[in-house]
Structures are given as structure tokens and as C-alpha cells.
């Protein structure tokens, strides 16, 4: 990094700025508050302050069950009057604006111009690369990278930390440490690819799910049932590759690949290549509407969060899972 952006000048984050307070930004804000940090937020939407405080209140019971820091206090949230006000005393900036390349480039350039040069600027972008996001930065682009969480951000531990070739490795390391301190499970994505890591894995599953719906092989509800009551249960505990290893018994992955490798290759060769045409889009939307007919979605979300908390608590008590 340049002399005026020395990462060694970065204090342990105590004051975090959240830019953009939609679903992801509000989730970050709730988590930062639960860990006892001061949070300054900014979003230009007129109703953003009220929506953010309500989102934090909604997340607080789940965060309380997981365990709050001694200094956790929702009153430590302040809504700023603008970007300069939001980042003036920040130790860490988490940007969660809309997933639009031109808009995000402009927003991050404004943050770069207004934020002290040693402060990391981390984007929650779900698919844009940090090289794209850095393009308009002229002060310290080497402190810009991606830190992509998964919804709900206040509960799901995964965060993908994605530097660009221009990102200072020391900043990447400090961000990994900070996210770990928060209780997150950061993974370092070592090459820039659109969609990073987990979204690409999800996209592979979505692609085949869309194809199966389009071909009439299964309904939307059938596909959700197949995952939620089948491999999804294992994937919540162990990743797909370790699960595949365990399926091989004493022989492990070697036996699985020897036994199921050839048929798996045939399955992969037969996977569909759907296009999100208007007709397929209607099929997918209609299928979800049918699946959720009569379901209280607010209760569904509350029960999802309750079960996520229970799962996280149980996983924390078991040490043999990687």
C-alpha cells in the first residue's frame, strides 16, 4: 500500500459504517451491533432509517439466542446525513448498495474519496469482481475488496473475501481476521470470477432445477422437497465433497469416484442448458406461488431463523465437523 494508506494504521474496528440498508446492509448492521460495535449507516431512501431500525429489531431475538456481546446495544446505531458524515470516523466500511456495476463503481469511488486511506472499503457484491468495483477509485484502491455474505447476513456464517490483484494482501488478511472475530466463517477466494464461489455453486444447482422444471421432469415444489429433505440436510453439516467422501465408506472419495464416477459423468453430460425465457420465468414464479399457497411467509421466515439458530448452536458444540 502507499505510505498514506498503511494498513498498520488501522485500529481494531470499533466503529463500522454500513452503506446501503436493504436486506443485506441491515443484516450487517444488526450483526455489528450484536458484537458490540458502534454502527453508522447511510442510505438515501427517505424511509431507510425506520426500515433499518425495524430490521435490526426483527433480527435481535435470533442474535440474542446466539449470544450478544456485553457491549451490544441497539442504541449504538446512528443514521448519517450523507456519505462524508457516515465515513468520517469509520474503522471499516461495508458497502451494500444495489447490484449494479455502474452505480456501485460510482458509490465506491465516492467512498474512496471520503474515507481515510487506511480504512478498508468492503463491498457485499454478490457477483461483481473487486477489479470492476475499484475502477473509479483514485485515493487508495488497494484497500477495496469484496466481502460477500449470505442471507440472512446476521445468521449465516459464510462470508466470501475476494481481493483483486490490486488489493493489498495485508488488507485482505485484516478483513479475514475481522470477519472471524465477528463469528463469521470467511473463505478467501483466490481468483476473481463472476459470482465468486458459493453463488457459482448455487447457479449450477439452479441451472439444473430450471431445466427440470422446463422439461416437465419435476415441479418447483418437488425440487425444493428433494433438496430440503435430501442432500440439503447433509450439506448443512458437511460440504458436498466431504459428503461424497463419506458415501464411499472405508474407501472414502477414492471408492466413491471409482464406483459412481462414470455414472456421475453421464449425469453431468446430460445436465440441461436452460435460458431464462419469459415462458420459463412464468413457470418458475408460478411454481413458487403454488408451493407457498396458504403459507404465512412471515411465520416461515421466523421459523427458518429459529431453526438456523438451533443448527448453529448444535454445530458450535461439535468439533469433528470441518
Block means of pLDDT (10 residues each) for the chain, 322 residues, are 42 87 97 97 97 97 96 96 96 96 96 96 97 96 97 97 97 96 96 96 97 97 97 94 94 94 94 96 97 96 94 92 86
Best CA proximity match to 223, nearest among 240, 235, 211, 237: 211
Q: C-alpha distances in angstroms, 99 versus 105, 118, 195, 243?
A: 10, 25, 12, 33
Q: What is the CATH number that goes with domain 3-188?
A: 3.40.50.720
Q: What is the pLDDT of residues 125-137, one digit of tens each?
A: 999 999 999 999 9
Q: What is the pLDDT of residues 188-238, one digit of tens each?
A: 999 999 999 999 999 999 999 999 999 999 999 999 999 999 999 999 999
Best CA proximity match to 63, nearest among 89, 94, 32, 97: 32
Q: In degrees, to the nearest 5, what angle opens at C-alpha 165 toward C-alphas 160 and 171?
A: 60
Q: What is the CATH number that goes with domain 198-291?
A: 1.10.1040.10
Sorted by where each begins, the domain ranges of the chain are 3-188, 198-291
- Rounded-to-integer distance, Cα 73 and Cα 66, Å: 15
Domain 3-188 identical in fold to domain 198-291: no
Amino acid at each position: 500500500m502507499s505510505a498514506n494508506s498503511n494498513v498498520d494504521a488501522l485500529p481494531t474496528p470499533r466503529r463500522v459504517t454500513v452503506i446501503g440498508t436493504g436486506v443485506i446492509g441491515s443484516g450487517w448492521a444488526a450483526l455489528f451491533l450484536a458484537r458490540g460495535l458502534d454502527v453508522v449507516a447511510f442510505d438515501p431512501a427517505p424511509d431507510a432509517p425506520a426500515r433499518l431500525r425495524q430490521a435490526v429489531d426483527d433480527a435481535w431475538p435470533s442474535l440474542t439466542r446466539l449470544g450478544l456481546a456485553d457491549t451490544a446495544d441497539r442504541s449504538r446505531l446512528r443514521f448519517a446525513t450523507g456519505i462524508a458524515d457516515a465515513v468520517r470516523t469509520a474503522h471499516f466500511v461495508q458497502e451494500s448498495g444495489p447490484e449494479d456495476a455502474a452505480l456501485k463503481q460510482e458509490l465506491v469511488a465516492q467512498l474512496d474519496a471520503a474515507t481515510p486511506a487506511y480504512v478498508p472499503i468492503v463491498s457485499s457484491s454478490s457477483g461483481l469482481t473487486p477489479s470492476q468495483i475499484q475502477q473509479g477509485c483514485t485515493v487508495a484502491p488497494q484497500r477495496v475488496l469484496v466481502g460477500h455474505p449470505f442471507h440472512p447476513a446476521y445468521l449465516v456464517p459464510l462470508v466470501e473475501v475476494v481481493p483483486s490483484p490490486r488489493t493489498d494482501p495485508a488488507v485482505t488478511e485484516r478483513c479475514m481476521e475481522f470477519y472471524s472475530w465477528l463469528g463469521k466463517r470467511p473463505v478467501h477466494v483466490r481468483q476473481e470470477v463472476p459470482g465468486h464461489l458459493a453463488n457459482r455453486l448455487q447457479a449450477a444447482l439452479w441451472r439444473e432445477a430450471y431445466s427440470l422444471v422446463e422439461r416437465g421432469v419435476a415441479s418447483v415444489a418437488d425440487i425444493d422437497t428433494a433438496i430440503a429433505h435430501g442432500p440439503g440436510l447433509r450439506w448443512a453439516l458437511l460440504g458436498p465433497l466431504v459428503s461424497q467422501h463419506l458415501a464411499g465408506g472405508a474407501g472414502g472419495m477414492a471408492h466413491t469416484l471409482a464406483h459412481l464416477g462414470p455414472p456421475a459423468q453421464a449425469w453431468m453430460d446430460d445436465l440441461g442448458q436452460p435460458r431464462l425465457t419469459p415462458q420459463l420465468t412464468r413457470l418458475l414464479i408460478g411454481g413458487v406461488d403454488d408451493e407457498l399457497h396458504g403459507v404465512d411467509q412471515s411465520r416461515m421466515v421466523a421459523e427458518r431463523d429459529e431453526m438456523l439458530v438451533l443448527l448453529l448452536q448444535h454445530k458450535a458444540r461439535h468439533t469433528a465437523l470441518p
